[in-house]
Amino acid sequence: MTVTLTWGEFAVATLVASFRMGRALRRRAQEPHGKPAERGEWEVVVEGCAAEMAAAKALKLYWSDSPELDYDGDIGGGFHVRSTDLADGHLILYDRDPADAYFVLVTGRAPIFDVRGFIVARDGKQDEYRSNGRLRTDGWMVPQAALSPIEELLW
């Protein structure tokens, strides 16, 4: 499902990204997957916020746009969002991801995204999807073919 953010929506995502980045730099926070937060991460944080907004828009859910990172999911309903600019990219899962949580894959770059599908973490944490050193830390790379269609979540 293709989602195009309005320029106003993208501006909000950019503002939230600036709060998140500022907070991380102020705390000298460690990025969750082993790499310290750096000023060069700006584009990654902006694209991540925009992808969260796109997933929420696709699912007709509220995006809290919270600059805080203490939450139960990235968008309303407890959904977690993983994004990549690669059209054929995988949904990445890590050990710390809750087994019963839903993860949504979004590909593309702002303002146009494709919401590719979703998986419950326990279903994606299978040996066949192990990253085997292809990520900075151990994890799973779930191919798009293994994801359920995002339309299954629409009500």
10-63 residue pLDDT tens: 999 999 998 888 877 777 655 555 555 454 578 888 999 999 999 999 999 888
Per-residue pLDDT, 37? 47
Question: Tokens 């699912």 correspond to what residue?
Answer: 59
| Per-residue pLDDT at 6 exceeds 60 | yes
Q: Which of 34, 121, 17 is CA-nearest to residue 69? A: 17
Per DSSP, the three-state class of 29 is coil
> Token pair of 21, please?
């980045």
> Token pair of 22, please?
């500022």
Per-residue pLDDT, 44? 87
DSSP code for 32: T
Per DSSP, the three-state class of 31 is coil
Per-residue pLDDT, 153? 87
Per-residue pLDDT, 42? 80
Per-residue pLDDT, 111? 97
Please report the DSSP string for 10-21 in residue order. HHHHHHHHHHHH
Per DSSP, the three-state class of 85 is coil
Residues 65-73 have a mean pLDDT of 61
Cβ(142)–Cβ(90) below 8 Å:
yes
What is the C-alpha separation between 147 and 129, in angstroms, rounded? 12
Q: Which helix (H) or strand (E) holds 115?
A: strand 112-120
Q: What is the pTM of this model?
A: 0.87
Question: Tokens 């050193």 correspond to what residue?
Answer: 133
Express each pLDDT in 94-153 by its tens digit.
999 999 999 999 999 999 999 999 999 999 999 999 988 777 778 999 999 999 999 998
